[in-house]
């Protein structure tokens, strides 16, 4: 006869490696004690595919004041089928921005994808903008995540980059020039009158000299 059975694999099976089980058959003859077959063992090695992703965002896309704080959020997700330990984030600024961020994460272990909330985490960091950032015109930094599977080398996804635009706000002050007053208008009129008289007198003198000649 042929018998069948099923087994549903677990995250632990992928973390620990091969699934090995052994079966024996027993039967009772018409006379005598039961007999047992030699054991039959099967080993199934589940394929492992560790992977991790990171998505970095900033609460602000534009800042306008030196000293303004930029709040960053990093969502790290285990997208593979094994648990990852020693999960960490590395973040690098493009100069002149800096110093490096101090990133706060709730855990360093992420369970395999599909195992619930423990397969992802959200980390945070804050950065205070500087004069150099505004002189440069932007703040750019890239984050990467790493995690170590049960077997093999640590995995690292492509970096996630965010750029913040820095804008200097120019304040235009109202003009301090006073509008013309009646006194200034009178002064300007007198000056114009005197100049006109002098010009007229000069023309008369020129005309007289021409007649004498």
For 80-89, what is each residue's pLDDT tens digit? Answer: 999 999 999 9
HSE-up of residue 142 (Cα within 13 Å, Cβ side): 7
Tell whether the model's pLDDT for residue 178 goes beyond 60: no
Distances (CA, A) of 129 to 38, 46, 141, 164: 73, 49, 13, 10
Spell 181-195 as b/e; 16+ CB within 10 A means b: eeeeeeeeeeeeeee
Contact 27, 35 (CB under 8 A): yes
**DSSP-assigned beta bridge partners for residue 51:** none
pLDDT digits (tens, 9 = 90+) for 42-58: 999 888 899 999 999 99
Domain ranges for the chain: 11-44, 52-166
**CA Rg value for the chain:** 42
| Mean local confidence (pLDDT), 119-134 | 97
Query: What pTM was estimated for this model as a whole?
Result: 0.71
Of 163 and 192, the structure prediction assigns the larger pLDDT to: 163
Domain 52-166 has CATH 3.40.190.10: no
Of 10 and 208, the structure prediction assigns the larger pLDDT to: 10
Spell 36-60 as b/e; 16+ CB within 10 A means b: eeeeeeeeeebebebbbbbebebeb
Least confident span in 21-35, 101-115, 134-148, 187-201: 187-201
Nearest C-alpha neighbor of 103 from the set 127, 137, 135: 127
Which pLDDT value is given to residue 206? 45
| Mean local confidence (pLDDT), 23-31 | 93
In angstroms, how far is CA 45 from the centroid of its own chain?
38
State what percent of residues in the chain have pLDDT above 90: 64
> How far apart, in whole angstroms, are the C-alpha atoms of residue 39 and residue 195?
128
Sign, CA dihedral 105-109-115-119, equals positive
> How far apart, in whole angstroms, are the C-alpha atoms of residue 13 and residue 46?
8
């Amino acid at each position: 006869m042929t018998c069948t059975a099923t087994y549903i694999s677990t995250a632990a099976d992928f973390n620990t490696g091969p699934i090995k089980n052994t079966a024996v058959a027993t039967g009772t003859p018409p006379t005598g004690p039961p007999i047992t077959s030699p054991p039959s063992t099967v080993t199934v090695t589940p394929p492992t595919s560790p992977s991790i992703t990171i998505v970095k965002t900033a609460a602000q896309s534009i800042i306008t004041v030196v000293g303004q704080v930029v709040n960053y959020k990093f969502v790290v997700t285990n997208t593979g089928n094994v648990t990852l330990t020693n999960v960490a984030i590395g973040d690098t600024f493009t100069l002149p921005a800096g110093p490096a961020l101090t990133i706060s994460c709730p855990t360093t272990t992420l369970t395999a994808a599909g195992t619930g909330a423990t397969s992802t985490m959200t980390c945070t960091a804050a950065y205070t903008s500087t004069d150099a950032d505004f002189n440069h015109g932007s703040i750019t930094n890239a984050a990467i995540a790493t995690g170590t599977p049960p077997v093999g080398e640590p995995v690292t996804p492509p970096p996630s980059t965010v750029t913040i635009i820095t804008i200097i706000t120019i304040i235009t002050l109202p003009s301090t020039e006073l509008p013309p007053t009646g006194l200034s208008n009178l002064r300007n009129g007198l000056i114009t009158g005197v100049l006109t008289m002098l010009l007229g007198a000069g023309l008369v003198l020129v005309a007289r000299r021409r007649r004498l000649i």
